[in-house]
Amino acid sequence: MMLASQVLTGLVAALHAYFLVLEMFLWATPFGQKTFKRTAEEQAQTKVLAANQGLYNGFLAAGLVWSLVANDVLAMPLRVFFLSCVVIAGLYGAATAAKQILFVQAIPAAAALVFTILATH
């Protein structure tokens, strides 16, 4: 269970690092427009908001990586906290922005969280 927790947590961290790059640096590019199915004008108007959102995704990725390298006392509480944050953010995003966020963000984090909790018992 611990290996599954670590691997899935690493996957979720990698996804959020990707989200950081996409939202901070690729948002107003043709790739960003295609990914988010928006016009160049819409992407340009929301570039600053997306960069801010990308920074928050970077903090989530950093916290998840921290949980993978932290000592035994801190690792699991950190992992549970940051994975819970990702699940909540994913559920909120799916409810308010796009349903696909449930599958891209919330479900992978929820799976990692389940394996993390199982690994601690």
Give residue 64's pLDDT band: very low, low, confident or very high (50, 70, 90).
very high
pLDDT digits (tens, 9 = 90+) for 8-51: 999 999 999 999 999 999 999 999 999 999 999 999 999 999 99
Our count of domains for the chain comes to 1
Give residue 66's pLDDT band: very low, low, confident or very high (50, 70, 90).
very high
Exposed/middle/buried for 35, CB within 10 Å: 0-12, 13-18, 19+? middle
101: containing domain: 2-119
| Closest residue by Cα to residue 52 from 99, 75, 19 | 19
